């Protein structure tokens, strides 16, 4: 709880700093504040894992929510480190920028620790509304405006479904509380059809927020139109949070065998579609950022595996996969920002010859791509490995084979940028990589390799 308060107060403090033109203090204050919040998060860490819910069952801080909150805060921290000198270039309202990101983070932490569906909805709305604004924050940029409008329209549309789903669940069970809903499922002889409809509508709402096919249409356009930093935030922290919410709802309330027989096939279809559309479409993309957008759809497909093979191991699988995906994406977006800043656009050709001119950047980007593709000794491999093991242990053999084939397609487009960097030559100057970027790149790369070599220390966290 103190985390939510801290970050909210931090956001307001940053807003005031902006008011008093203390532009230089914005980033340091934000970063320090996030560190404090991170420390407070671990207050709730409990080895016995038997934390009670608070505020009349509205929120529940257990190890699960601590882990996901910490991941969200650390990712935000890294992304904000990439923002030095970035906001000033694209917008005059720097303080608002930081503030809104912090508000989004508040929503995310609520999402990671809700125990009541009304809190889920509030969290998602706090996050979404912040994101609508962030997407369109380049006020004079048409692409940014268009992306914001599209995101808002479709987001509003899907939020309706989520809310309707929650309502139906409430209508059948008589409660918003996750435990109460589980009790309803366990105690009632025949579950009301309204409840099933509620499940379907919640799936739709959450899948939209996560960007699963066929509710993914907003992602490529919005990711491309939004400022790159915001894209990084959306495709990593936001996705992770939505999956935390997904997992919590389904694991606590909807995991009975009869219910699983109902919703698992739905998720199998959505996961397959996401894999197919994400991977296949990414193949033909000529721009790095758009490739990342499509590839993020496919990663949603992999993440859905943890729900399809729902068990007590699902939370660490999602956590590990999300962590791997997040840090690898942060490297990719950081590299993208460096290239974009210098060259102005992000077609694959602009990465030609980077291996010779910027060996560090090229190396870290290569490791990030290998991790996203799921090559052994990187975190991404461990993530995929856990997902596939789970799916196989619940006998989803066909789905796993399909996913492996898709992973092969993934290797193709991820390695394209590596090929461009190392095997294609181009006349180019060395790109200037700011110190902050170097720190983020190196830290994330090390984390990718450490998790890849020794996954135990993070997988056993939850």
Decide if residue 150 touches another protein (CB under 8 A): yes
Give the whole-angstrom CA distance, residue 193 versus residue 289: 43
Min separation Cβ 132 and another protein, Å: 14
Question: Counting beta carbons within 10 angstroms of the beta carbon of residue 397, is it exposed (0 to 12), middle (13 to 18) or buried (19 or more)?
Answer: exposed
Decide if residue 161 touches another protein (CB under 8 A): yes
Question: Counting beta carbons within 10 angstroms of the beta carbon of residue 42, is it exposed (0 to 12), middle (13 to 18) or buried (19 or more)?
Answer: exposed
Q: How many CB atoms lie within 10 A of CB 404?
A: 12
Residue 192 vs 340, nearer CB to another protein: 192
Residue 69 vs 279, nearer CB to another protein: 279
Assigned token pair, 55: 């505020």
Give the whole-angstrom CA distance, residue 374 versus residue 451: 12
Provide the strand spans (E) within 1-115. Answer: 53-54, 59-60
Give the whole-angstrom CA distance, residue 102 versus residue 371: 28
Decide if residue 233 touches another protein (CB under 8 A): no
Q: How many CB atoms lie within 10 A of CB 111?
A: 30
Min separation Cβ 250 and another protein, Å: 16
Segment 203-222, which members bind another protein (CB under 8 A)? 203-204, 208, 214-215, 217-218, 220-221
Residue 224 vs 315, nearer CB to another protein: 224
Residue 282 vs 369, nearer CB to another protein: 282
Decide if residue 277 touches another protein (CB under 8 A): yes
Binder of another protein out of 51, 90, 183, 196 (CB under 8 A): 196
Assigned token pair, 43: 């207050």
Residue 200 vs 443, nearer CB to another protein: 200
Binder of another protein out of 76, 106, 116, 158 (CB under 8 A): 158
Decide if residue 153 touches another protein (CB under 8 A): yes
What backbone phi and psi angles, to 5 degrees, belong to 213?
-70, 145
115-123, 157-165, 383-391, 414-422 -> range binding another protein (CB under 8 A): 157-165
Assigned token pair, 164: 């309707």
Assigned token pair, 103: 């508000």
Binder of another protein out of 200, 264, 363, 415 (CB under 8 A): 200
Give the whole-angstrom CA distance, residue 384 versus residue 404: 9
Binder of another protein out of 163, 197, 377, 443 (CB under 8 A): 197
Contacts of 53 by beta carbon, 8 Å cutoff, 6+ apart: 59, 60, 115
Binder of another protein out of 16, 42, 157, 395 (CB under 8 A): 157
Q: Could you tell me which of 249, 226, 386, 390 has the C-alpha nearest to residue 311?
A: 390
Min separation Cβ 319 and another protein, Å: 27
Contacts of 12 by beta carbon, 8 Å cutoff, 6+ apart: 99
Binder of another protein out of 171, 193, 359, 376 (CB under 8 A): 193
Segment 15-44, which members bind another protein (CB under 8 A)? none
Which residues lie near another protein (CB under 8 A)? 150, 153-154, 157-158, 161, 193, 196-197, 200, 203-204, 208, 214-215, 217-218, 220-221, 262, 265-266, 277, 280-285, 409, 412
């Amino acid at each position: 709880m103190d985390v939510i308060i801290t970050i909210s107060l931090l956001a307001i403090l940053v807003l005031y700093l902006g008011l008093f033109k203390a532009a230089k203090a914005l980033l340091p204050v934000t970063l320090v504040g996030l560190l404090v919040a991170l420390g407070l998060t671990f207050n709730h860490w409990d080895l016995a894992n038997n934390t009670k819910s608070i505020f009349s069952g509205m929120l529940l801080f257990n190890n699960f929510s601590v882990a996901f909150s910490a991941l969200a805060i650390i990712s935000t921290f890294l992304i904000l480190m990439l923002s030095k000198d970035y906001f000033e270039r694209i917008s005059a309202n720097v303080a608002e920028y930081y503030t809104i990101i912090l508000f989004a983070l508040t929503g995310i932490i609520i999402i990671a620790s809700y125990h009541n569906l009304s809190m889920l909805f509030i969290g998602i709305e706090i996050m979404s509304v912040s994101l609508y604004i962030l997407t369109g924050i380049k006020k004079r940029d048409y692409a940014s405006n268009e992306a914001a409008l599209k995101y808002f329209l479709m987001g509003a549309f899907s939020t309706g479904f989520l809310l309707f789903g929650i309502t139906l669940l409430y209508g059948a069970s008589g409660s918003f509380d996750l435990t109460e809903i589980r009790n309803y499922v366990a105690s009632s002889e025949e579950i009301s059809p309204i409840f099933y409809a509620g499940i379907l509508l919640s799936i739709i709402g959450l899948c939209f927020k996560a960007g699963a096919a066929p509710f993914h249409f907003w992602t490529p356009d919005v990711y491309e139109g939004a400022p790159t930093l915001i894209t990084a935030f959306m495709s990593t922290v936001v996705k992770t949070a939505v999956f935390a919410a997904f997992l919590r709802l389904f694991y606590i309330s909807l995991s009975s065998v009869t219910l699983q027989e109902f919703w698992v096939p739905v998720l199998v279809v959505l996961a397959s579609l996401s894999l197919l559309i994400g991977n296949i479409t990414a193949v033909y993309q000529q721009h790095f950022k758009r490739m990342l957008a499509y590839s993020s759809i496919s990663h949603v497909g992999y993440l859905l595996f943890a729900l399809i093979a729902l068990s007590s191991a699902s939370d660490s699988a999602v956590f590990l996969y999300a962590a791997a995906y997040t840090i690898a994406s942060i490297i990719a977006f950081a590299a993208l920002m460096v290239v974009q800043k210098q060259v102005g656009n992000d077609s694959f050709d602009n990465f030609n010859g980077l291996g010779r001119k910027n060996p560090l950047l090229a190396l870290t980007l290569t490791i990030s791509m290998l991790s996203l593709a799921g090559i052994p000794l990187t975190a991404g491999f461990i993530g995929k490995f856990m997902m596939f093991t789970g799916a196989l242990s619940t006998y989803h053999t066909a789905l796993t084979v399909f996913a492996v084939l898709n992973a092969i397609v993934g290797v193709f487009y991820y390695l394209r940028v590596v090929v461009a960097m190392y095997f294609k030559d181009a006349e180019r100057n060395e790109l200037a990589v700011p110190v902050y970027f170097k720190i983020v790149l190196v830290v994330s790369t090390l984390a990718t390799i450490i998790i890849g070599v020794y996954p135990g220390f993070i997988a056993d966290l939850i």
